[in-house]
Amino acid sequence: MTSETLKKLLVEELRDLYDAEKQLVKATAKMAKAAKNPELKQAFQYHNEQTRGQVERLEQMFEVLGKKARGKSCKGTKGLVEEGQQVMEEEFEDEAYDLAIIGAGQRVEHYEIAAYNSARSMAVQLGMKEVAGLLQESLTEENQTEKLLTQLSKTLLKQTGLSRPAEAGESTKTTSGAGAKKQASRTVSRQDNSAHFTTDHDEIRQWAEERGGKPAYIRGSGGMGDIGMLRLDFPGFSGKGSLEPIDWATWFRKFDDEKLALLYQNKTSHGDKSNFNRLVSREMASGAFRA
Ligand SMILES: [Fe+2]
């Protein structure tokens, strides 16, 4: 095979992926809306942001290759999205509904991982380092999402209250307790636009203050003696007055009481400083640590 043929094949793969990601920007937004579990919702919201970055990353690749950014109808993704749509229309109980959505999301992730893997191998073979690097960035994000979804499905299955015998070779060790402290802060992948999880107070405060962020809570979300849901308030993002400022000590007390972790991003996929953050449970964060 000539390298010209392989390059043609790579461009075809990228066109397929370009169409797939564009379909998935819409699909992940719908899944985020449909998910009932708040962590699952956040996971889809986060992946929706990543997917937009992946579309732009593919446009960058077309530019490097001197090709017009143009998609080629990806029927595989179309089918998976349609199946996901059907799942969202079914009437399951909360956990079962979320598990069904995770199943649909996992199918998409595995499809994308396969596509990015093969495109990346072609780019490597062609010596196209920049394209291979960009494909690897998206591949890392897809793998990360796949692991997060796996972890969330495990958590949801546990919440069903149905016990099951431990599987052979399965470890019951978790990263909670003393182990979690050591791992208080870890990065899921090496790219600076990737997700970092932390429970470290200094790290959170520093990250927020570098962006002008202040500790706050959602007004009216609390109850008797409870201040309510925590948030970080950034200049220009005050949620139209729905956030009430509090001091860091109170914020961190609640943060620890509720066993929360902060998922944050340093830079957007364009390389700008990112304010993206979500408060998630430590259980979810430790799942991502294990991943
Ligand atoms: Fe994707």
Structural domains in the chain, CATH included, are 3-159 (1.20.1260.10), 178-290 (no CATH)
**Separation of 29 CA from ligand 1 center, angstroms?**
12
Q: How much is the pLDDT for 68?
A: 94
- Distance from Cα 138 to the centre of ligand 1, integer Å: 7
Q: What is the pTM of this model?
A: 0.59
Going from the Cα of 142 to the center of ligand 1, the distance in angstroms, rounded, reads 6
User: How many Å lie between the centroid of ligand 1 and the Cα of residue 144?
Assistant: 11
Q: From ligand 1's centre to the CA of 16, what distance in Å?
A: 12
Q: How far is the CA of 19 from the centre of ligand 1 (A)?
A: 11
**CB atoms near residue 125 (< 10 Å):** 13
CA distance 222 to 284: 23
Q: Ligand 1 centroid to 112 CA: how many Å?
A: 6
Q: 112 near 72, Cβ under 8 Å?
A: no
Distances (CA, A) of 1 to 5, 120, 125, 131, 249: 6, 18, 12, 20, 65
Radius of gyration of the chain (CA): 21
**Per-residue confidence (pLDDT) for residue 172, from 0 to 100:** 44
Spell out, as residue ranges, where the chain has pLDDT lower than 50: 168, 171-183, 189-190, 291
Contact of 264 with 234, CB cutoff 8 Å? no
Question: What distance in angstroms lies between residue 143's CA and the mean position of ligand 1's atoms?
Answer: 10
**Confidence (pLDDT) at 196:** 77
Strands 260-264 and 196-198: antiparallel
The one-letter amino acid code at 289 reads F
State the first-to-last Cα distance of the chain, in angstroms, to the nearest integer: 38
Residue 48 CA, ligand 1 centroid: distance in Å: 8
Packing angle, helices 282-290 and 129-159, rounded to 10? 130
236 alpha carbon – ligand 1 mean position (Å)? 29
Q: What is the pLDDT of residue 175?
A: 43
Distance 225 CA to ligand 1 centre (A): 43
Q: How far is the CA of 116 from the centre of ligand 1 (A)?
A: 9
* CA of residue 156 to ligand 1 center, whole Å: 23
Cα–Cα dist 40/217, whole Å: 21
Q: Residue 90 Cα, ligand 1 centroid: separation in angstroms?
A: 25
Ligand 1 centroid from CA 219, angstroms: 35
How many of the other CB atoms lie within 10 Å of CB of 71? Answer: 17
Cα of 173 from ligand 1 centre, angstroms: 31
Query: Residues within 5 Å of ion ligand 1 by Cβ?
Result: 51, 54, 112
pLDDT at 92: 75
Q: What is the pLDDT of residue 197?
A: 81
Tell me the CA–centroid distance for residue 94 and ligand 1, in Å.
26
- Centroid of ligand 1 to alpha carbon of 51 (angstroms): 5
The whole-number pLDDT of residue 180 equals 42
Ligand 1 centre to CA of 87 (Å) is: 20
Phi-psi label, residue 247: left if phi above 0, alpha if psi -120 to 50, beta otherwise: beta
Give the Cα separation of 241 and 66 in Å (integer).
48
pLDDT of residue 282: 80
